[in-house]
A and B are shown apart, each in its own frame.
Chain A
Amino acid sequence: MALSDKIIPHYTYQDYIQWEGRWELIEGHPIAMSPLPIPEHQRLSANLIYEFKNELKKNCKDCKVYSPLDYKISEDTTIQPDVLIVCGKIKKPYLDFPPLVAVEILSPSTMLRDRNTKYFIYQEQGVKYYLIVDADKSIIEIYQLINGKYEVQPYINGFGFYFNENCEISPQLDNIWE
Chain B
Amino acid sequence: MGLAEKYIPHYTYQDWLHWEGRWELIEGHPIAMRPMPVPEHQRVAAELITELTLALRKSGCKDCKAYGSVDYKIAEDTIFEPDILVICGKINRSYLDFPPVIIVEILSKSTEERDRGIKYQYYEQEGVKYYLIVDVNKKSLEIYELVKGKYRLQPYQKSFKFQLNQNCEISPQFDNIWE
Chain A: residues with CB nearer than 8 A to chain B? 2-4, 6-9, 11, 15, 18-21, 26-27, 29-32, 34-35, 109, 112-113, 116-117, 120-121
Contact = CB atoms under 8 A, between A and B. Distances in A.
A91 to B, nearest CB: 26
B44 to A, nearest CB: 23
B27 interface: yes
Contacts of B18: 32, 34-35
B32 A18 contact: yes
A109 B7 CA distance: 10
Contacts of A26: 4, 8
A20 B5 contact: no
B31 interface: yes
Interface of B: 2-9, 11, 15, 18-21, 26-32, 34-35, 110, 113-114, 117-118, 121-122
Contact of A27 (B2, B28, B121): B2
Nearest to A30: B30
A8 B21 contact: no
Contacts of A35: 18
Given A4-B118, A34-B18, A11 B9 contact: no
B5 A32 contact: no
B113 A21 contact: no
Contacts of B19: 21, 32, 34
A117 B82 CA distance: 34
B29 A29 contact: yes
A117 B34 contact: no
A74 B113 CA distance: 25
B7 A34 contact: no
A60 to B, nearest CB: 32
A8 B26 contact: yes
